[in-house]
């Protein structure tokens, strides 16, 4: 019997000049598996010390990633990138709306909430409820409010209006001062205090909320029990040094909008940005990288999109940390047809990642968990998802009912589509490079991401690898084996011959 290995190495699979993509190959089970699932890590390093425990980035698209998605995906160990298609009524970009999302995400799971929504004693409960709606985080509105002089964010603390202090029905015209717990009855803490001390106080005094004021009695922070519970519930959470959720925001390559966006986004605590363009191998991108590196040297910069080693080499030389790999592959993408320039998703990733020191983010064309496994196996450090996160509870937009099937759906569209109308801002030509369509409603990211993780961990176990790094080493050494698929094998590997 010959000792020849089964199948092909990655090098043999991705022959020069062949547009091989996910459905064209499968990974073979050639390794004896002896690893325990609990020893498998899915950690991805994006650069600048930013590590994800779940190697998933939510794509900066206006039907995928805004406040609720950024929060949910960060809690599940990934990270979201806030899109930049917020507009004023005249169609011009509204930078502040995007920055508001950065602030909402950063405010979410604070140990110490720096900017809780505050109200004034003279406001009516109706006005408070309106403000709660405006400051809604994801689906849930805010129910508890520190009361300060004139309602100023860090004004003199006068009391606390808690959920149990007012009725949305009976007290609409009552003033806050008549329902709040006034200062003389309020349990509060004085700054400085550690998070552990604040936690201990919450438990000892049977509290759900603890306002913290400085020596002059001015509100400094709010600590809440529900935030602490969230810490327990989501052990994978992607957090910064101050225990706030990490978040990215998208910027265009046009300096007149990008510069103020960068200024405001980073001032609001964002951890990094994505230079969001379909054509990253360009002077515009190179100049933007230089600018950001020089102005914000501590922040993560993700560039792209590109799909060739030529482009990856240039961007790495400019100092980029991480890049999106994928051109013409997205589910809503018509670039290949519109301009004839694209690359098969898997081939782009293999060839570019191999010759790049930057972190590679496989972006576009991923439809099922197995595609994510393949992307990571052939060299990506993480994936970016549009389609696979569109249609979740946390993606922007309402659930609708499909007229034909009666099933729940949500809208999903390309950022280069006529409907998204990013138009001149993103530098698209008038010929759209994306479309709008519907996707099935998928439920919550909090159910979906654990399933994706489960699939990835199962695959790692079968391949007997404990980390993405090890997976890459074994792929490059030729140990991980692949096989090309025929049409018949592709049919065979899907559901077949049963009545559905
Ligand atoms: P999907 O996960 O297959 O749906 O692909 C999502 C990716 O498609 C995004 O992360 C972008 O890189 C890319 N993309 C988004 N909008 C457009 C568009 O309008 N045209 C082409 N590509 C797009």
- Ligand 1 contact via 325 beta carbon (within 6 Å): no
Nearest CA to ligand 1 atom 8: 330
Which ligand 1 atom is the nearest neighbour of the CA of 329?
3
- Ligand 1 contact via 332 beta carbon (within 6 Å): yes
- Ligand 1 contact via 417 beta carbon (within 6 Å): yes
Please identify which residue in the block is written with the tokens 């590997």: 493
Which ligand 1 atom is the nearest neighbour of the CA of 389?
2
- CB under 8 A, 24+ apart: contacts of 484-492: 484/8, 484/13, 484/20, 484/24, 484/25, 485/23, 485/24, 485/25, 485/26, 489/26, 490/23
Task: Retrieve residue 302's tokens.
Answer: 């993700």
Nearest CA to ligand 1 atom 17: 414
Beta-carbon neighbour count of residue 139 at 10 Å? 9
Beta-carbon neighbour count of residue 350 at 10 Å? 23
End-to-end CA distance of the chain: 44
CA 403 to ligand 1 centroid distance, Å = 26
| Residue 404 burial (C-beta neighbours within 10 Å; 0-12, 13-18, 19+) | exposed
List phi, psi (to 5°) of 358. -70, 160
Helix locations, 390-496, DSSP H: 445-463, 468-476, 487-493
Q: Which residues, in sequence order, are CB contacts of 112 under 8 Å at separation 6+?
A: 195, 198, 212, 221, 222, 223, 242
Which ligand 1 atom is the nearest neighbour of the CA of 432?
19
List phi, psi (to 5°) of 140. -95, 135
- Ligand 1 contact via 389 beta carbon (within 6 Å): no
CB 320 within 8 A of CB 289: yes
Q: Catalytic pick from 333, 343, 453, 481? A: 333
- What are the structural domains, with CATH classification, of the chain? 10-108+237-493 (3.20.20.70), 125-225 (3.10.580.10)
- Ligand 1 contact via 302 beta carbon (within 6 Å): no
CA 316 to ligand 1 centroid distance, Å = 23
Q: Which residues of the chain have pLDDT under 70?
A: 1-2, 109-111, 136-140, 423-429
- Ligand 1 contact via 258 beta carbon (within 6 Å): no
CA 84 to ligand 1 centroid distance, Å = 14
- Ligand 1 contact via 280 beta carbon (within 6 Å): no
Helix locations, 93-194, DSSP H: 95-108, 125-134
Nearest CA to ligand 1 atom 16: 414
Q: Catalytic pick from 244, 426, 453, 481? A: 426
C-alpha 123/C-alpha 109 separation (Å) is 27
Task: Retrieve residue 283's tokens.
Answer: 């002077």
CA 364 to ligand 1 centroid distance, Å = 6
Which ligand 1 atom is the nearest neighbour of the CA of 60?
10
CB 252 within 8 A of CB 258: yes
- Ligand 1 contact via 331 beta carbon (within 6 Å): yes
For 60-83, give one letter per residue: b (16+ CB within 10 A) or e: bbbbbbbbbbbbbbbbbbbbbbbb
- Ligand 1 contact via 342 beta carbon (within 6 Å): no
- Ligand 1 contact via 433 beta carbon (within 6 Å): yes
Q: Which helix (H) or strand (E) holds 79?
A: strand 79-82
C-alpha 60/C-alpha 57 separation (Å) is 9
C-alpha 79/C-alpha 59 separation (Å) is 9
Which ligand 1 atom is the nearest neighbour of the CA of 305?
12
Q: What angle do CA 231, 236, 240 make, to 5 degrees?
A: 75
CA 39 to ligand 1 centroid distance, Å = 34
- Ligand 1 contact via 365 beta carbon (within 6 Å): yes
pTM of the model: 0.83
Pocket test for ligand 1, best of 61, 336, 410 (most atoms within 8 A of CB): 61
C-alpha 270/C-alpha 264 separation (Å) is 9
- Ligand 1 contact via 366 beta carbon (within 6 Å): yes
| Residue 55 burial (C-beta neighbours within 10 Å; 0-12, 13-18, 19+) | buried
Give the max Cα distance, the chain. 88
Query: How many Cα atoms occupy the beta-carbon half-sphere of 293 within 13 Å?
Result: 16
SS3 content of the chain, % helix, strand, coil (to 5): 35, 20, 45
C-alpha 239/C-alpha 261 separation (Å) is 22
pLDDT at 140: 66
333 carries an active-site annotation: yes
- Ligand 1 contact via 326 beta carbon (within 6 Å): yes
C-alpha 259/C-alpha 71 separation (Å) is 25
Pocket test for ligand 1, best of 21, 22, 56, 59 (most atoms within 8 A of CB): 59
Helix locations, 223-355, DSSP H: 225-233, 255-267, 283-295, 309-318, 335-339, 345-354
CA 385 to ligand 1 centroid distance, Å = 9
Q: How far is CA 254 from the centre of its chain?
A: 23
List phi, psi (to 5°) of 93. -65, 140
CA 377 to ligand 1 centroid distance, Å = 21
Task: Retrieve residue 499's tokens.
Answer: 């009545």
Please identify which residue in the block is written with the tokens 């029990």: 225
pLDDT at 429: 60
- Ligand 1 contact via 345 beta carbon (within 6 Å): no
CA 262 to ligand 1 centroid distance, Å = 23
C-alpha 358/C-alpha 182 separation (Å) is 55
């Amino acid at each position: 019997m010959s000792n020849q290995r089964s199948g092909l190495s990655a090098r043999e699979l991705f022959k020069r000049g062949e547009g091989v993509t996910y459905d064209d190959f499968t990974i073979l089970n050639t390794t004896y598996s002896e690893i325990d699932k609990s020893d498998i890590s899915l950690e991805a390093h994006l650069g600048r010390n930013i590590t994800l425990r779940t190697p998933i980035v939510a794509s900066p698209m206006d039907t995928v990633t805004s406040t609720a998605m950024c929060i949910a995906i960060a809690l599940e160990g990934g990270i979201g990138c806030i899109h930049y298609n917020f507009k004023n009524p005249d169609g011009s970009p509204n930078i502040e709306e995007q920055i508001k999302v950065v602030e909402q995400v950063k405010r979410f799971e604070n140990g110490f909430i720096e900017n809780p929504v505050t109200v004034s004693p003279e406001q009516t409960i109706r006005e408070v409820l309106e403000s709660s709606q405006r400051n809604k985080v994801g689906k849930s509105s805010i129910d508890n409010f520190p009361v300060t002089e004139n309602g100023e964010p860090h004004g003199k603390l006068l009391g606390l209006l808690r959920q149990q202090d007012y009725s949305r029905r009976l007290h609409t015209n009552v003033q806050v001062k008549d329902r709040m717990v006034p200062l003389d009855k309020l349990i509060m803490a004085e700054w400085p205090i550690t998070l552990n001390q604040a936690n201990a106080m919450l438990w000892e005094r049977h509290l759900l909320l603890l306002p913290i004021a400085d020596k002059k009695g001015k509100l400094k922070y709010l600590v809440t029990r529900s935030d602490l519970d969230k810490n327990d519930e989501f052990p994978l959470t992607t957090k910064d040094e101050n225990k706030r959720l990490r978040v990215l925001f998208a910027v265009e390559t046009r300096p007149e909008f990008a510069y103020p966006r960068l200024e405001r986004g980073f001032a609001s605590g964002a951890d990094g940005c994505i230079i969001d363009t379909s054509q990253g191998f360009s002077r515009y991108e190179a100049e933007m990288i230089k600018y950001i590196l020089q102005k914000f040297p501590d922040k993560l910069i993700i560039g792209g999109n590109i799909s060739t080693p030529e482009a990856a080499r240039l961007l790495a030389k400019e100092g980029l940390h991480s890049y999106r790999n994928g051109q013409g592959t997205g589910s809503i993408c018509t670039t290949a047809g519109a301009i004839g320039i694209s690359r098969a998703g898997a081939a782009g990733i293999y060839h570019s990642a191999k010759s790049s020191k930057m972190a590679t983010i496989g972006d576009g064309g991923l439809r099922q968990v197995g595609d994510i496994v393949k992307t990571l196996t052939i060299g990506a450090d993480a994936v970016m998802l549009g389609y696979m996160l569109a249609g979740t509870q946390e993606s922007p937009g309402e659930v609708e009912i499909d007229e034909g099937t009666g099933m729940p759906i949500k809208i999903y569209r390309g950022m280069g589509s006529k409907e998204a109308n990013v138009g001149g801002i993103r530098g698209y030509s008038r010929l759209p490079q994306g479309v709008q369509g519907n996707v099935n409603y998928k439920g919550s990211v909090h159910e979906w991401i654990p399933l994706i993780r489960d699939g990835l961990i199962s695959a790692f176990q079968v391949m007997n690898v404990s980390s993405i790094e090890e997976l890459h080493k074994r792929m490059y050494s030729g140990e991980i084996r692949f096989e090309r698929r025929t049409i018949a094998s592709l049919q065979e590997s899907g559901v077949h011959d049963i009545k559905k």
